[in-house]
């Protein structure tokens, strides 16, 4: 392997948090690109089965629209829409340039493709204030055992998490649970991390 292809632990420790995040994002994205469709489906089913048990006590839930390289929580969202639970998704508010939340009732009729090509609720449904949720499911490129989260670098979910009420549950493949996430002052934490094989409660 060519020198410099992989940074040593010492080299990583000498980088600032922004550089460390950039390096970790590249490493995780390379691993995500190697996941086959069949593996994603199988692990998404396992994750949703685990989450379904954990989510029974939550009444108002903020889901997320999974990107192609993320575990598919859409399976659980579709199931919960047939219950008395209130389910919502983030939507991008072009006026404020931040994400807010709207309730959804039907995945076929209520969804449009919004900012960054991410699915979101259309404008025909009521907004739910972020401080009204019992549970927030949180995507991320990586998490650590302290509840730190590595996002995609735009900071949108940090702003959601800083305003949202309820329990914040990170959703990830097992390999996305890493030893340590570099942290900056604006970074928000989660309370739990759920993967296809385990649920990790973050100790305060």
pLDDT of residue 11: 56
Domain boundaries 36-198, corresponding CATH code: 3.40.50.10420
pLDDT of residue 95: 86
Query: Reduced to 3 states, what is the DSSP secondary structure of residue 44?
Result: helix
Q: Strand ranges (DSSP E) for the chain?
A: 60-62, 86-93, 98-103, 111-113, 119-121, 135-138, 142-143, 149-150, 167-171, 192-194, 199-201
- Please report where in the chains the tokens 């069949």 appear, as a residue: 38
Contact 176, 149 (CB under 8 A): no
* Domain residue ranges of the chain, discontinuous segments joined by +: 36-198
Give the pLDDT confidence of 147-163 residue by residue, as tens digits: 999 999 888 898 999 99
Contact 37, 9 (CB under 8 A): no
**Six token digits for residue 20:** 């460390």
Contact 110, 104 (CB under 8 A): yes
Helix segments in 81-182, DSSP class H: 156-163
Spatial CB neighbours of 162, under 8 Å, sequence gap ≥ 6: 188
Query: Reduced to 3 states, what is the DSSP secondary structure of residue 71?
Result: coil
CA atoms within 13 Å, Cβ hemisphere of 142:
25
The two beta strands, 199-201 and 149-150, are unpaired
CA pseudo-torsion sign 43, 143, 30, 63 = positive
- Tens of each residue's pLDDT in the chain, 204 residues: 344 444 555 555 567 888 999 999 999 999 999 999 999 999 999 999 999 988 889 999 999 999 999 999 999 999 999 899 999 999 998 888 889 999 999 988 899 998 888 999 998 889 999 999 999 999 999 999 999 999 998 888 989 999 999 999 999 999 999 999 998 888 889 999 999 999 999 987
pLDDT of residue 185: 81
Spatial CB neighbours of 6, under 8 Å, sequence gap ≥ 6: none
């Amino acid at each position: 392997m060519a020198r410099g292809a992989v940074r040593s632990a010492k080299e990583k420790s000498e980088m600032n948090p922004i550089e460390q995040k950039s390096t970790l994002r590249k490493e995780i994205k390379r691993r995500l690109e190697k996941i086959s469709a069949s593996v994603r489906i199988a692990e998404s089913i396992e994750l949703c089965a685990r989450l379904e048990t954990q989510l029974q006590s939550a009444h108002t839930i903020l889901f997320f629209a999974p990107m192609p390289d993320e575990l598919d929580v859409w399976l659980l969202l579709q199931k919960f829409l047939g219950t008395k639970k209130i389910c919502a998704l983030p939507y991008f508010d072009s006026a404020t340039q931040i994400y807010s939340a709207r309730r959804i009732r039907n995945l076929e009729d209520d969804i449009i493709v919004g900012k960054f090509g991410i699915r979101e609720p259309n404008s025909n449904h009521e907004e739910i204030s972020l401080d009204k949720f019992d549970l927030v499911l949180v995507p991320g490129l990586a998490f650590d055992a302290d509840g730190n989260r590595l996002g995609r670098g735009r900071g949108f979910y940090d702003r959601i998490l800083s305003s949202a009420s309820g329990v914040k549950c990170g959703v990830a493949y097992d390999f996305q649970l890493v030893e340590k996430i570099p942290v900056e002052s604006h970074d928000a934490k989660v309370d739990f991390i759920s993967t296809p094989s385990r649920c990790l409660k973050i100790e305060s």
